[in-house]
Structure 1
Amino acid sequence: MHSTTSQDSHKLNRTLMAWSINIPEPVLFFLVMAVATTHMAHAADPDIASDFILPPNVTSDLINGNFFTFTALRQAVDPDGISTFSVVKATVAEFPALDGQSVSYAVLLYPPGSVNPPHAHPRSAELLLLTGGYLEVGFVDTTNKLYTQTLQP
């Protein structure tokens, strides 16, 4: 019985050896890196597939230059100054041409002595235009480094 088991084991080893593949180490490393790189390349965000996105129930024959023009920010310019905090926005809700463009705009009007509390908006940007007074601004990057600046008109 012992010899039968030994013969079976020998046959199994020969079968496994016939199926094994001897790949040199550098070639194996290259294959593993190629597969890993290929998978990383597929992890990116998709490209924007169109120039703009039409709102529901709007056909392209109705689109003209007015669709791409937003004039509501004009109300943010008040030559007499402001007495209360107010916000004028240009987001997809107010300006449908922004859909799919990864951009929005907001004008925050602060009366003198106001404070904008610390806030977060990860992976986005903020553009500030100061028309009077001064403003202390800053942000913290992903390595927790603080950048500050005093803005003046």
Structure 2
Amino acid sequence: MATQVALLVIVALGFCCLAFAFEPKPLQDFCVADPTSSARVNGLVCKNPMLVQANDFSFSGLHLPGNTTNPVGSRVTPVTVTQLPGLNTLGISMVRIDYAPWGINPPHTHPRATEVLTVLEGSLQVGFVTSNPENRHITKVLQKGDVFVFPVGLIHYQHNVGYGNAVAIAALSSQNPGVITIANAVFGSKPDIGSDILAKAFQVDKSIVDQLQTKF
């Protein structure tokens, strides 16, 4: 009997862990975000449902190409709860990504979301790296219409390997997935991470770290 009880407890705890690993399901039809509220909650406060309009569930602009004239040659156009208040509590968002020829979406992570990317135009090399200690690089070249999944929290990237522009649309499993661009976070933090720390971490000379930090 004691063994059965212990087994039930373990199973119950397992389900609890799964439940807390993702955003909670809404308890009403919708909870349109009210960005004017000063209340602090895990998410955004709901607007009075009687004041909700169709525009709260609509976003225009994903048909417009992003400006890729920047050092990395890509532009992300997000549609998160910030741009589309009706996404609040629904656990989903999306982005459009434009790539100049040979442009990249640099290695980054989404701490709160898995990403499903679909190529609309062009050819993209995509990849992600598994966690320690394997650090396995899983990569593939995608063509128009291909789909690829980046698991939540893992470092991933996209690289336009064609001579023309490329476009992708991605869905993410959070209303606010967050993004941590690795190079920006490591070399562009404010205040700086000590160059002696980074030199030891990357096994390079401190002068190289100092040079990298000036670029971010």
Q: Same fold by TM-score, threshold 0.5 exceeded?
A: yes
Alignment of 1:44-55 (within 5 A): 44-45=19-20, 46-55=24-33
What CA distance in whole angstroms lies between the structure 2 residues aligned with 1:120 and 1:86? 16
Q: Would you say the 8 A contact 1:135–1:150 is kept in 2?
A: yes
Which structure has the greater CA radius of gyration?
Answer: 1
Q: Would you say the 8 A contact 2:33–2:81 is kept in 1?
A: no
The amino acid across from 1:110 in the alignment is: Y
Alignment of 1:101-116 (within 5 A): 101-116=90-105
* Deviation of 1:105 (Å): 1.6
RMSD (CA atoms): 2.8
Greater helix fraction, Structure 1 or Structure 2 = 1
Q: Would you say the 8 A contact 1:67–1:97 is kept in 2?
A: yes
Aligned to 1:96: 85
Greater strand fraction, Structure 1 or Structure 2 = 2
What's the CA shift string for 1:92-150, capped at 9, x where partnerless? Answer: 11111111122222222221121222222254114132413x21112234675543221
Q: Which runs of 5+ in 2 are unaligned?
A: 37-46, 145-216
What CA distance in whole angstroms lies between the structure 2 residues aligned with 1:89 and 1:32? 46
From 128, 141, 154, the equivalent of 1:150 is: 141
Size of the aligned set, in residue pairs, is 122
What CA distance in whole angstroms lies between the structure 2 residues aligned with 1:49 and 1:125? 25
Q: Would you say the 8 A contact 2:32–2:56 is kept in 1?
A: no
Greater relative contact order (Cα 8 A, min sep 6): structure 1 or 2?
A: 2
What CA distance in whole angstroms lies between the structure 1 residues aligned with 2:13 and 2:125? 44
* Deviation of 1:28 (Å): 2.5
From 127, 138, 142, the equivalent of 1:138 is: 127
Q: Would you say the 8 A contact 1:130–1:151 is kept in 2?
A: no
1:28 equivalent to 2:17? Answer: no
The amino acid across from 1:61 in the alignment is: M
* TM-score normalised according to structure 2 size: 0.46
Secondary structure of residue in 1 paired with 2:3? helix
User: CA, structure 1 residues 89+39, in 2 after alignment: closer, same or farther (shift >3 Å)?
Assistant: closer
* TM-score normalised according to structure 1 size: 0.62
